[in-house]
Structure 1
Amino acid sequence: MELRIRDDRPVLVGHDGTGVREVDPDSLPLGHDLTGALREWARVATAVDRGGADSAAPMVSRRGAQLAGRVAEAMGVPVTYVDPVSGEVTHVVPEPPRPAPPPPAEPVPWSTGSAVTVITMAISGVAFIGLAATLRETNALLALVSNVVITAGLAPSVWLARRVVVWRWVAAGVAAGLAASWLALPFTILA
């Protein structure tokens, strides 16, 4: 694709597979700001060329090269820029898209998180062991079944919560409470 000026207006010239065609930038998805800037640049470049204002020629050339770069980025294809003042040809290649910067790492709240884990472990451990001890009075097998049911019911939730920023501390506490209930189960059944 090539950026040129034809009769006070910008045109993009390119090969469409059947032949060379001139396309008005307004018909391309360049955005209103860029097409307006291209029209304004073409008018100024034509006025500078007719008036012979040598002092403005470098600015017109620089602005044309900048606009060619913006067209290349917007279209995603290389653009050849023909300087209307000097006739010099410049090839502009679009820059590859930059990856988004990674989000800044948050500090880990070890003291608060550890406190939440310990409190959750204590509450869940006492609840699980208390349930097993209460059911053991009816039948020792019920204490074992209760631990199996509680573990099977909480395992998916604990597994999913292990990567969630705040809930990972609660998940660690529940997992520790489950482990404590399994360690205490033989003593609960034999008591």
Structure 2
Amino acid sequence: MELRVRDGRAVLAGEDETGEREVDPHSLPLGADLAEALHEWAKVADAVVRTETPADGVASALVRRRGKQLAGRLAAVMNAPVRYTDPVSGELVSVDAPEEVERAAVQTVVGEEQEVEPTPWGTGLTVSFITAAIVTVTVVSLSLGLGETSRWLALIANVLVVGGLAPSVWLGRKVPVWRWVSYGVVTGVLVAWVVLILTLL
């Protein structure tokens, strides 16, 4: 079985008596969470590929890592190796089904019960605050500097900055460590825009 991205949707390709077929993950008994996670990953991967993010960029790396992680979960549920086609580089990787203990843990994630680690609010919010401060200062400085030349140029720069950050922020919002950075980036951009609006009044 092979995990692919096709027009912003995740598909699973396999051989049968009629030849190769591609099926929607929702049509297989994978669990709604895993099928939804596959489609969400595919949607973000498609957006990253369309914006031609460099292969060594943060968004591309997150897409690649998340794809391998989902292929591993898929292999555990299917109890069979899964080939994974990286949508950014086109590289084909084979992911083996995990050992019995790991498989039980993955199946617990697919099912209802999952033991959740405590959320590190103190450290996480500190990271978010620092990230928000850096992003706020950067966006305000860039906008004010360009605004002296042309307000339209400053507006276009803001749109490009936010558009460039969006795929990384979208991917990182559910990753345990990176979600705090994502929260900081979103907060920083919003605070910067409020500051810029106030400077125009």
Give TM-score, length-normalised by structure 2. Answer: 0.48
- The amino acid across from 1:6 in the alignment is R
Structure-2 residue corresponding to 1:78: 81
Distance 2:17 2:101 in 1: 31
1:84-114: CA deviations, max 9, x gaps? Answer: 00011100010131399xxxxxxxxxxxxxx
**Structure 1 moving runs of 4+ over 4 Å:** none
Please tell me the root mean square deviation across aligned C-alpha atoms, in Å: 1.6
Structure-2 residue corresponding to 1:150: none
1:35-91: CA deviations, max 9, x gaps? Answer: 111011000000000112232101101100100111111111110000000011100
- The amino acid across from 1:32 in the alignment is A
User: How far is the alpha carbon of 1:18 from its aligned partner?
Assistant: 3.0
1:10-38: CA deviations, max 9, x gaps? Answer: 00000123311101000001111111110
Distance 1:42 1:73 in 2: 20
Higher Cα Rg, which structure? 1
Task: Map 1:1-191 onto structure 2 (within 5 A).
Answer: 1-54=1-54, 55=57, 56-98=59-101
- The amino acid across from 1:65 in the alignment is K
Q: Calculate percent identity across the aligned residue pairs.
A: 58
Rate the CA distance shift 1:17–1:76 in 2: closer, same or farther, 3 A: farther
Question: Structure 1 unaligned runs (5+)?
Answer: 101-191
Question: Structure 2 unaligned runs (5+)?
Answer: 105-201
Distance 1:71 1:23 in 2: 14
Give TM-score, length-normalised by structure 1. Answer: 0.50
1:167-189: CA deviations, max 9, x gaps? Answer: xxxxxxxxxxxxxxxxxxxxxxx
